[in-house]
Amino acid sequence: MARAAVTGAFGFSGRHIAARLLARGDEVITLTNHPDRPDPFDGRIQVAPLAFDDPENLAASLAGVDTVYNTYWVRFAHGGVTHADAVRNSTTLFAAARQAGVRRVVHVSIANPDPAHGVEPSARAWS
């Protein structure tokens, strides 16, 4: 049995990833900004804050995790969070994962950025 972390396991994409992990017998923790959302897993997964403003706590939440499945993203500014904020937050999450000894990060993007639609791929932001 592996220990996995899924960002946003109470949301659409994260819920499906977490369900598959549980089905194969993994222990799952979710990192979320919305702990008040209904828990579709009836308490079978641990809940921790997606604390970008507290990297030490974020790393502590990831202790013993083998793989982080990151579904956190921002395509357009929403709720005061911009795409640039999301890049910075993701960088914080990846650094916390490294600090915690996480072996692998699976970064899921469903935004499908396309320059033809005025949305540039964010890969350049990582350089």
List pLDDT tens digits, range 87-114.
899 999 999 999 999 999 998 876 555 5
Q: Give the list of residues 6+ apart from residue 20 with CB closer than 8 angstroms, or none.
A: none
Structure confidence at residue 126 as a pLDDT band (50, 70, 90) = very low
Asked if pLDDT for residue 127 goes beyond 50, the answer is no
Residue 84: give its domain's CATH number. 3.40.50.720
> Quick one: pLDDT at residue 115?
57
Query: Which of 88, 76, 89 lies closest to 120 in space, CA to CA?
Result: 76
* Cα–Cα distance list, 46 to 30, 38, 66, 67, 69 (Å): 6, 14, 15, 15, 15
> Quick one: pLDDT at residue 114?
57
Radius of gyration of the chain (CA): 15
Number of domains in the chain: 1
**What pTM does this model have?**
0.82
| Residues spanned by the domain of 38 | 3-126
The residue with greater pLDDT, 123 or 84, is 84
